[in-house]
Structure 1
């Protein structure tokens, strides 16, 4: 079995159906769903041009809102494209100009078409796939298969020329980046608010001598973000602070379990935290100590500390006033802290911080992939980005599953 994915700015998938029917004949093609909105296409052996035993299956998915730019979104296709964009940014390139064109092309993609050949992409299957690519002005991402005859992951253009592989090599010399006028005219692009936030973050990072990428998308707007509630943030802070006491060796896991159960916080303790408290190994303790940075961010969001401080400075929870800290030992009661949590900082403040740490995190990842020294402390940046992503409900992910896409 072989797989490849074709990416295109087109959204009219009747073109795919017309292409396979024209190539193999209508009787060879089985379609699930109506022609104008099909769900899957299957082409089976014994039909016109297709050798016995060969099949081709095609499915697709699209951006919730088609466009020509990548904007911060929970939409799974957009999230995947943002991940692809970040992946390409971090690859080496023998032809940097071509890499920039590939990055621009990725931002215009609206549809990803997954194709699976059994047992392989033979001559006729390859031919129809390349016809689709021409018709849809697409690009491919693929691993080893018959189409491109290579063992290396990479991106290919609609003619089969290599745009960029994971080693930075290319055979293509140019890539057209086309945008339908209907998308361009309809697309609003980044809001002035989001664009200004991005510019402020980049200016701030430049002042710290941290080089981030101007190609990273903007983040969610204030009118679209749904922040966690103050109560939810306070409960998460209280749990993290208690678990952190075990990480630093001040208490046993069983003592904190009892504390969380007695104070009606156990049901809100995550599975990963429960596993840690049950068996806090030395390695797990070391990793968990970094969560003090998350506590710091959430205390800031709850107005318990005046600022996050410099991006490269470790937090100091000892500086938090006793009345503003949720955990004072296994005999303490977090009720006063929880009841006092009635408001969060503004969406503007939280999004400004999120945008800054998002771009700083990218700079750390980029430097690490290049074998260079990270420009700021990667542990601090990652944990604060993590907590800020949770605060803004990034991709609606629960605490244990928060991702820090760059």
Structure 2
């Protein structure tokens, strides 16, 4: 189910309060028969929110994509690292990611964790207007869809980065609030051993929550992001 219309602010001049945002999200969840709790806190107020620069988000999407690529094609590792260094992206790679890029052989769990990051990449691309629509966290994004939004392999990423435009803060916070409460719903189902509401995927919800919390500065560094619910 598409949630794009919910995230599209029809009146960008109106500053929505955190409480209004929470009420609207809960109304949507109720209409979708997705459980929520009233006492789950609000997210930040719109006039206090900090949002990453679109160029920084574009760079992060590229880094995660190339990490995913070398996990599948390890023989390209040196070429990819050289590419990242030549385009001033290597300094933006997190400490944990540098270890993965440079590791001789990734474990199966590390490869699985990296592959799930495709869901975070999709959200990063949405926030910089490279992806138009977001759906509920049910179906995994296809890697071909991600690749179609990015420069060709080892192609100069300057135009891609420079052309990135951030979505309105209100839309990003609407998505953040919704993702926060969807992640709670999946965690609650896991803890209670209940069937997942509306077939929500807890791993997709987690990756989306991680990405949007980075975009909205829940911590300064990628490796330090938390996804509390």
Normalising by structure 1, we get a TM-score of 0.49
Greater fraction of residues in helix: 2
Choose which of 304, 318, 321 in structure 1 pairs with 2:130.
304
**Does the Cα contact within 8 Å between 1:290 and 1:383 map onto a contact in 2?**
yes
Q: Does 1:346 align with 2:168?
A: yes
* Residue equivalent to 1:107: none
Report the CA distance shift for 1:321/1:255 in structure 2 as closer, same or farther (over 3 A): closer
* Residue equivalent to 1:284: 110
Deviation string, structure 1 residues 45-87 (Cα, Å, up to 9, x no partner): xxxxxxxxxxxxxxxxxxxxxxxxxxxxxxxxxxxxxxxxxxx
* Residue equivalent to 1:81: none
Q: C-alpha distance in 1, partners of 2:159/2:116?
A: 26
Report the CA distance shift for 1:305/1:317 in structure 2 as closer, same or farther (over 3 A): farther
Q: C-alpha distance in 2, partners of 1:288/1:321?
A: 16
* Residue equivalent to 1:398: 221
Q: C-alpha distance in 2, partners of 1:312/1:381?
A: 9
**CA apart distance, 1:338:** 1.2
Q: Once superposed, what is the RMSD of the aligned Cα atoms?
A: 1.9
Report the CA distance shift for 1:271/1:303 in structure 2 as closer, same or farther (over 3 A): same
**Does the Cα contact within 8 Å between 2:16 and 2:170 map onto a contact in 1?**
no
Which structure would you say has the larger Rg? 1
* Residue equivalent to 1:256: 80
Q: C-alpha distance in 2, partners of 1:252/1:211?
A: 45
Matches within 5 A, 1:80-159: none
**Does the Cα contact within 8 Å between 2:122 and 2:146 map onto a contact in 1?**
no
**Does the Cα contact within 8 Å between 1:304 and 1:320 map onto a contact in 2?**
no
Matches within 5 A, 1:3-402: 193-249=17-73, 252-279=76-103, 280-320=106-146, 322=148, 324-326=149-151, 328-329=152-153, 331-341=154-164, 343-375=165-197, 376-394=200-218, 396-402=219-225
Deviation string, structure 1 residues 310-335 (Cα, Å, up to 9, x no partner): 3312123423574x414x22x32111
* Highest RCO, 1 vs 2 (Cα 8 Å, sep ≥ 6): 2
Paired residue secondary structure (1:277): helix
Name the count of aligned residue pairs.
211
Report the CA distance shift for 1:221/1:355 in structure 2 as closer, same or farther (over 3 A): same
Paired residue secondary structure (1:219): coil
Normalising by structure 2, we get a TM-score of 0.85
**Does the Cα contact within 8 Å between 1:228 and 1:392 map onto a contact in 2?**
yes
**CA apart distance, 1:236:** 0.9
Paired residue secondary structure (1:345): coil
Q: C-alpha distance in 2, partners of 1:356/1:398?
A: 23
Q: C-alpha distance in 2, partners of 1:332/1:365?
A: 40
**Does the Cα contact within 8 Å between 1:296 and 1:317 map onto a contact in 2?**
no
Q: C-alpha distance in 2, partners of 1:302/1:235?
A: 11
Report the CA distance shift for 1:352/1:294 in structure 2 as closer, same or farther (over 3 A): same
Q: Which runs of 5+ in 2 are unaligned?
A: 1-14
Q: Which runs of 5+ in 1 are unaligned?
A: 1-190
Greater fraction of residues in strand: 1
Q: C-alpha distance in 2, partners of 1:284/1:361?
A: 22
**Does the Cα contact within 8 Å between 2:96 and 2:223 map onto a contact in 1?**
yes
Q: C-alpha distance in 1, partners of 2:46/2:92?
A: 27
* Residue equivalent to 1:92: none
**CA apart distance, 1:250:** 7.3
